[in-house]
Amino acid sequence: MEAKGIKGFKDILPDDIKKWHFLEETAKEVFENAGYSEIRVPIMEFTEIFSRSIGEDTDIVEKEMYTFQDKSGRSITLRPEGTASIVRAYIEHGLHADPQPTRLYYLGPMFRYERPQAGRYRQFYQIGVEALGIDEPLLDAEVIMMLWHLFERLKLNYLELQLNSLGCKNCRPLYIKTLRNYLTDKLPLLCPDCKKRYEVNPLRVLDCKREQCINAVANVPGIFDSLCPSCKKHFDEVKGYLRELSIPFVVNQKIVRGLDYYTKTTFEVISEKLGAQNAVAAGGRYDGLVKDLGGPPTPGIGFAIGVERTISLFKNTPPEQKPLIFLASLGNSGQAFSMKLARQMRDAGIKVELGYGDSLKSQMRKADKSGTGYVLIIGDEEIKKGSAILRNMRTKSQENIPFGSVFETVTKRLRPEAQPEGLSDNI
C-alpha cells in the first residue's frame, strides 16, 4: 500500500500551523469585538440545500460538488461554501426571533471538485461571517469595514476592494435582458460553457476566466443603468459610508459572483501578489436566500475569506507568543523533578519542553533546535548538589539555582513582569 493523500487535499504540517492559528485568532478577535458569535455547522447537508441556494446553473452546483448517496439513499453533499448551511441553521433554530441582526462567524473546510493548482484546492478553508435580519446599507458598510480591518490587523498590503451591485429581483431581469442582447453578436466568440450560460444564466459569462470570454465582454454595458431607484440608493449609501470610513474601493461592474443568491452589494478583495487565483475574500448581500430555503423573508449579508490564499500572503511566521523553557535532565530523580516542575510551570502559562535521550549532550542539541531562550539542566551532579543549572541560550551564561527556588527564579527570568506565587513548596 502507498501512503498517499487524495489530489487537491492538503496536509497542514506543524511548520505552517502557526500562520493558520494567527489568522484564526486574529479573525476571531476582530469578529467577536464586533458582536459576532461563532456557529459550527456540519460539513454535510442534504444536496438540495446547496443546489437551491447556490443555483442549479452555477459551476459549483453543476460541476464542483462532492455529492453521494448515504446508506438510506438520500443525496448528501460535502459543503462547497458556508452560507447555505448557516441560513439553513438560522431557519431551523428560529434565530430570526432573536434581536436582529443575528451576527455569526464560522471557519472550516469547504469542498469543491475543481482543477487543483496554486491557490485552488479540493478541500480548502474559509473563515466567514453572516449578518442576518437587517437590510440597511449601514450594515453592508460595517461588514466590509470589519473585513478590511481584519486585513489591516494582518498587515496585508497591496489589496484592492472591488465593489458592485447586482440589483434585486425587480431590476436584475432588466440587466440580464440588456446583457443577453449585447452577447447575441458575441456568441461565436464565447467558449462552449458560456454559449450555454448565454441561454440559462448570462450573468455567469461575466465570471468566466477564459481569455476569449474576458475579451468578448470587455465593453459590456454595466449594470448601473439598469438598477431600480432603491438599489441605486442603497449602493450610493454603501459607497458614501465607505468613503467616510476612508476604506479605499474601486467599482467593478463585472463582479457577478459564482453563486445565484446574491443581491445588491457584492464585493471581492483581490491581491496583485497572487497570480491567477487572485481573490482572497468575497461576499455580498443575499436578501432572498432565507425565503428561498423556506424561512420568513429576511435580508442577509456576509463574506468568506480564503484561508490558504490569505496565508500565502504572510511574509513571516508570526512570533511565538509564549515564553519557552527546555528541561534537560538525567536519571530517575532528575527526570521526576523535571516532570513535576514542568506541570507547575505549564499551569502558570509557560511552555515547557522536556528533553528525551540518554545524554545531556543530545538533549542540549534538541534544546538548541527548539529555539528556547533558557535551558534548565538537571544532571547527576545537580541532583547530588540539590540545585539545577539555568543556562541562558542567548548569552551562554549559567547560574546555579537551589531546587527550592527553581520555580520562582525561572518564572522571573522568563516573564520578568510576572509575580511568582511561591508554588515551589509543592516540588
CB of 84 to ligand ATP, least distance (A): 11
CB 223 within 8 A of CB 255: no
CB atoms within 10 A of CB 161: 19
**Pick 120 or 232: Cβ nearer ligand ATP:** 120
Q: Which residues bind ligand ATP (CB under 6 A)?
A: 81, 112, 114, 119-121, 124, 126, 258, 277, 279-282, 304, 306, 308-309
Nearer to ligand ATP, 267 or 374 (CB): 267
CA distances to 76, 93, 105, 133, 284 from 98, rounded to whole Å, are 30, 10, 16, 10, 22
Cell of 276: 491567477
User: Please, what is the minimum distance in Å from the beta carbon of residue 62 to ligand ATP?
Assistant: 13
CB of 48 to ligand ATP, least distance (A): 19
Of 344, 334, 354, 347, whose CA–CA distance to 424 is shortest? 344
15, three cell numbers: 511548520
Smallest distance from the beta carbon of 66 to ligand ATP, in angstroms? 12
Give the other-Cβ count within 10 Å of 408's Cβ: 16
For ligand ATP, the closer of residues 78 and 280 by Cβ is 280
Nearest to ligand ATP of 50, 407 (CB atom): 50
| Distance from C-alpha of 56 to C-alpha of 50, rounded to nearest angstrom | 9
Q: Which residue's beta carbon is nearest to the bound ligand ATP?
A: 306
Least distance in Å: CB of 276 to ligand ATP?
9
Instruction: State how far the Cα of 261 lies from the Cα of 383, in Å rounded to an integer.
Output: 70
Q: How far apart are CA 249 and CA 233, in angstroms?
A: 18
The CB-of-112 to ligand ATP minimum distance in angstroms stands at 5
Q: Please identify, using beta-carbon distances, which residue of 299 and 306 lies nearer to ligand ATP.
A: 306
Task: Return the H-helix or E-strand segment holding 45.
Answer: strand 44-46
Q: Which helix (H) or strand (E) holds 189?
A: none
> Nearer Cβ to ligand ATP, position 16 or 408?
16
